[in-house]
Each structure stands twice: as C-alpha cells, then as structure tokens.
Amino acid sequence: MTNRTALVTGASRGIGLACARALAESGARVVLAARDRAKLEEASAQIPNSTWVEIDLSSQDSIKAAFAQAAKNGPIDILVNNAAITKDGLALRMKKDDWDAVIATNLTGAFLAIQQVLHGMMKERWGRIINISSVVGEAGNPGQANYVASKAGLVGLTKSLAQEMASRNITVNAIAPGFIETDMTAGLSEDLKAAMLAHIPLKRFGRVADIAAAVRFLASDDAGYITGQVLAVNGGMYM
C-alpha cells in the first residue's frame, strides 16, 4: 500500500483506530476522521505518518470540508466507512428523530463520504471502498430497527456501487463484524455477554484486530478481484 492514502471514519477509537493502524503498518498514508478533536490528536500521535480531520457524518457540509482538507496531500485511494452511532429502542416507541439520526450518520453519511472520493478514484483508475456493516444487518436484532436498517442499507449500497465502479478498477466491499470487544460493548451486562457467547461457535468475542486484518486484506492488491462482497467476521455466530 505504499504511496496510497487511506481515510478511515470513526478512527479515534475502537475498530476505526485499529483499521487505521493496520493500514499505516502496511505502508499507507492514513487520515483519521472523527468528531472528537482531542481523541483524534491522541490517536494520530500513535500512528506514524498519519494526519487527522474533524468530521460530522450527519452533516453534508462537514463531510465536504473534511474530505477537501484530507485531499490537500493527494487523492484518497482507500476509504473505510466505519463511523456509526446507535439510538436503540423498540420500533413501537422509537422516535422519528432517533430513526433519522442513525440513518443520517450510518448510511447517508457513508454514501456522501463515498461521493467525495469517487472522482479521484476514477481518475486514478484504482480505489478501495470498504463499508463496515454488522452481523445484525444480515440477521436483524430486536430493539435496533434503525441501526439494523442502516447496516443492511450499507450492504445494498456496497453491491450497487461495486457494479457501477468495477470498470474503473474500483472495488467496493463490506465487512460485517459480529460481537467485537470495544468501548461500545464494554457496558453490556455479564449475563447478556454470556448469552451472546453461547451463540458463537468459536467461543470467543472478536477483537478489533480481527476486523482490521480483514480491512487490510480488502484494501490490498491481493483483493483486486473481490468486489461486491460482504465478508462476515463473526466467529460463526451467523452463517
């Protein structure tokens, strides 16, 4: 990945930070993008040859400004759409604002980010777009209708864009993580964790490094003949 530039959203912590680190270790110049300036500065300091930009994926203006800043050092060759939010609740009582907020960030934000890099990738006739979906985008999950819809939407977006962009040597793939140990999952009760573990054939929760390894592969030249696919990294919990 030498001389390639990668931008990772939601890169200040968790899966995004692990992906940014893995791409940097593979030789890419990495741009970390997230909302929290302090966490971005701290994260970027851990990764040699990296820079950062503030971005709010719910705002088209913020997305345009962030990508314009990121592209000052050259076009983005690799985009990892990882940023996501949750606003859980049963569908019967879910507020429209909570539905809209999750769809805006997780799905519309990812689409708008992709739009910012397509022209450059088409000109270079090379590109890697990797959308981080979720196992629940395939299997569903009660209490997360908005989040599940956004992650399922990313799968459809991935497949459509893969067909549109293939002739320009731009691959578009998705990764569907299972239960991964991150800050977001650390607050779950031990009973809930035990119940989930019972449904994972590999009998362990995933690590952020497991997702980062999949991202590094799909971003590499080794994955040049793979497009429109959803790579499940879930320990076998959904097949």
Show the domain range for 135.
5-233
Output the pLDDT for position 219.
98
Look up the pTM and report it. 0.97
Q: Active-site residue among 67, 99, 126, 147?
A: 147
User: Does residue 25 fall inside a structural domain?
Assistant: yes
Model pLDDT for residues 85-114, shown as the tens digit of each residue: 999 999 999 999 999 999 999 999 999 999
Output the pLDDT for position 158.
98
Q: What is the CATH number of the domain that holds 223?
A: 3.40.50.720
User: Does residue 239 fall inside a structural domain?
Assistant: no
User: Does residue 51 fall inside a structural domain?
Assistant: yes
Output the pLDDT for position 187.
79
In what order do the strands lie in the sheet containing 78-81?
Answer: 50-54, 29-34, 5-9, 78-81, 127-132, 170-177, 230-233
User: Does residue 238 fall inside a structural domain?
Assistant: no
User: Does residue 110 fall inside a structural domain?
Assistant: yes
Output the pLDDT for position 137.
98
State the DSSP string of 102-164: HHIIIIIHHHHHHHHHHHHHHHHT-EEEEEE--THHHH--TTBHHHHHHHHHHHHHHHHHHHH
Total domains in the fold of the chain: 1
Model pLDDT for residues 148-166, shown as the tens digit of each residue: 999 999 999 999 999 999 9
Residues of the chain whose pLDDT is less than 50?
none
Is 225 noted as a catalytic residue in this protein? no
* Token pair listed for 163: 């067909």
User: Does residue 155 fall inside a structural domain?
Assistant: yes
Output the pLDDT for position 182.
86
The helix (H) or strand (E) run that includes residue 41 is helix 37-45
Output the pLDDT for position 105.
98
Output the pLDDT for position 103.
98
In the chain, DSSP assigns E strands to 5-9, 29-34, 50-54, 78-81, 127-132, 170-177, 230-233
